[in-house]
Chain A
Amino acid sequence: MTTMTYRQALHDTLRAEMLRDENVFLLGEEIGVFEGSYKITAGLLAEFGEKRVRDTPIAEEGFTGAAIGAAMLGLRPVVEIMTINFSLLALDQIVNHAAKIYGMFGGQAKVPLVIRTPGGGGQQLGATHSQNIELYYAFVPGLKVVAPSTPADAKALLMAAIRDDDPVLFLENLALYNTKGDVPDDDTPAEIGKAAVTRPGRDLTLIGYSRMAHIAAQVADQLAASDGLDIEVIDLRSLRPLDRPTIIESVMKTHAAVVVEDDWLTYGIGAEVAATISDGAFDYLDAPVRRVAMAEVPLPYSKPLETAALPSVDDVINAVHQTLDAVGRRHQKVGHD
């Protein structure tokens, strides 16, 4: 076990996978000489050379297409798209090619491609550089979408993604790069499609992923201390495939759920989770599932407005209290002496 940042875990895992398998190579904007906008690829050009660490032009559609071709012919490309916002330029390649080739051509070619890309707001990068649009990819059969929230998961899921024969969108988060955590020293890849119950509890199920998994854990800790609540927290880890059994099993136990997401409410990931609960645990629900999401606006640049638009710990606490009120467990807000 070693304590390291999320950034370090990604870097070390990329390097280890490149050492393990010579078919693994990296391409993307500014990943070589500049060592990556977020320094995930620091030192790798020097170690592995230009053949395996390729700086590309600012042309997402072009280099994503090139990576798909390389993957079809047996290489294992790991593409870095500087932020998920720029992946829209490669949408046709990802959705119409990477996701479809295996099925459309009768399994003649696999596409073992990984697209690493960070999302997330809160850095004052403006509306076009702060989005959480992983949903666009989680929507598409033929793709896998994973979203680690901890350094340990960053390692285990990146290993799994690189070794997976399907195209995987690997969602990172700008706000998580500097977070620290324990990372196991052994090389066991995660199972893609498995959520983690990061905190067991009985009173309510709180579901999140990526940055929101942290917010959920923080809320659970805070409410355990202040209100004596016993909240179960689920970190989804994988958005496609979605681990429906873990979600359903939890809600069957707690009878109430709140979903927190960094994206917009309408048609968001939370809507899919809520529908999953309705399908699988309807007869166990004692209150409607609540969702906490970002305000339905393009994210403002102004810091106070940006903070107000993003879901906060207080927003989540509010939703938890309202849900628990609805099942008759009133929080102590009234009548202190």
Chain B
Amino acid sequence: MIEIKMPRLSDTMEEGSVATWHKHPGDRVEVGDILVEIETDKATMEYEAYEAGILTEVLVGEGDVVAIGTPIALLDTGVATARAVASPAASATDPGPVSTRPLRVDTVETVTAPVTVPEVENGPRRFASPLVRRMARQLNIDLSRVRGTGPGGRIIRRDIVDFDDTSAQLDELVVDAVSAPPVIADERRGSEVIPLSTTRRVIARRLGESARTIPHFFVTAVVDAEALVTMRTELNSQLAAVARSKVSVNDLLIRACALALREHPLVNASYVDDASTTMLIHHRINIGVAVASENGLVVPVINDADQKSVGELGVEAKRLASLANDKKLTIDQMSGGTFTISNLGMFGVEQFTAIINPPEGAILAVGSTTVEPRVVDGVIEARHTMRYTLSSDHRIIDGALAAQFLRTLTTFLENPWSLVA
């Protein structure tokens, strides 16, 4: 009998909710069968069985939220539980030649300590790796306030790295809010305590850190989008005639950014940290597209955007956005970006600035395309115009580089046939 535990399915996941059980008590489970769908802070993911057996009991019902490592079901593998709880003497392997044991001696299970959390008088004992205990001594961190996400709830290095007072307080706040009915926290303001979603907490922590630690600077440029709009109209009427999907301004922007990044590889880069004597230049151009999904802000990534046509980019962007709305994006689809585009044009925003999505070096904030009076060859004309602002990490990108990048980008957009050539 083994316990199936709430798995860690993303870097930032701390708890998960059971969305759908695919197996039910009494069902036979084979290795690789989908046991359950788990909803994390970012996505709903299928979780496969790693061992075969009979699912004997479901411990966490659909819709319930539990911390990583919490048992969610019991699986009878036909192997006695003795292995996990036996005394070391009983589980020691007899190396005698005549044995009914399996040939393979599983080194892991023979020697691994039980991963249950034993209760001691003043609450459960908190396990922490030796590295964590050393870090806690140095950083003066009270480990009883850190949530462990390693095996059996062991506190591991990443938990310490993620930990700060704010997040601990947030954790407590969320626990209180979930367990108690809504309370008025502040009479004067009539405030109500609302639990933060895990997505919200991740956004808060990462963007807070980005805004606090990255020296942002902002460079804005104006594009004469007349040719872009004309080309897109013409292109879409031809595409419609052959029943192919339309191209959006955003698809053209992704393509233009990818080409501009190829010309300015130093923008496609990451600062490592203050202790490092090196920085990273990324040879792949993976563009994140910020999506205001129904479940909050997510940034799916289009890999190798410079290798794809405008049509391919459009199809992929659409597919990722629809996955985002269904909470079906995988971790893989949301990581590995080297540059981000945030477009608020559809909301009628003229221009804005965005916060860099670490560890990337820059982000482009795009406003709407509007008709404005512009001077062309000494004559005032009504022209389609777009404004965008590049936020750059000044530790690796200087103003002149940001300006050159924007000039290249603007040139591509003002000569839009080059994007589809």
Interface residues, chain A, with chain B CB atoms under 8 Å away:
255, 264-266, 282-288, 290-293, 295-298, 300, 305, 308-309, 319, 322, 325-330, 332-337
**Cα–Cα, bound, A295→B105 (Å):** 5
Residues of B within 8 A of A322 (CB): 108
Q: Is the CB–CB distance between B156 and A330 below 8 Å?
A: no
Apart from A286-B156, A309-B103, A337-B328, 12 more pairs, CB < 8 Å: A284-B130, A284-B134, A285-B129, A285-B130, A287-B150, A290-B107, A297-B97, A328-B158, A334-B9, A335-B43, A336-B332, A337-B333
Judged by a CB distance under 8 angstroms, whether B151 is at the interface is: yes
Residues of A within 8 A of B48 (CB): 333-334
Interface-centre pick from A287, A292, A293, A322 (highest chain B CB count, 10 A): A287
Q: Is the CB–CB distance between B133 and A283 below 8 Å?
A: yes
Q: Could you list 29 A-B pairs, sorted by A, with CB under 8 Å?
A: A255-B157, A265-B105, A265-B107, A266-B95, A283-B133, A285-B131, A286-B129, A286-B132, A286-B156, A287-B150, A295-B104, A295-B105, A296-B93, A297-B95, A297-B97, A297-B99, A298-B97, A305-B103, A308-B103, A309-B103, A326-B151, A326-B156, A327-B150, A327-B158, A328-B156, A332-B332, A334-B47, A335-B47, A337-B323
Judged by a CB distance under 8 angstroms, whether B45 is at the interface is: yes
Residues of B within 8 A of A285 (CB): 129-131
Minimum CB–CB distance for B26 against chain A, Å: 24
Residues of B within 8 A of A308 (CB): 103-104
**Cα–Cα, bound, A322→B111 (Å):** 13
**Residues of B in contact with A, size category:** 35 or more
Q: Is the CB–CB distance between B45 and A319 below 8 Å?
A: no
A-B CB proximity, top 9 nearest = A335-B45, A283-B134, A296-B95, A328-B158, A286-B131, A286-B129, A286-B157, A296-B105, A335-B330
**Cα–Cα, bound, A285→B154 (Å):** 13
Q: Is the CB–CB distance between A330 and B149 below 8 Å?
A: no
Residues of B within 8 A of A287 (CB): 129, 150, 156
Can you list, as one digit per residue, whether each of B60-103 has a CB less than 8 Å from chain A (1) or not (0)?
Answer: 00000000000000000000000000000000010101010001
Judged by a CB distance under 8 angstroms, whether B7 is at the interface is: yes
Residues of A within 8 A of B112 (CB): 288
Minimum CB–CB distance for B34 against chain A, Å: 10
**Cα–Cα, bound, A336→B34 (Å):** 12
Interface-centre pick from B9, B103, B328, B332 (highest chain A CB count, 10 A): B103
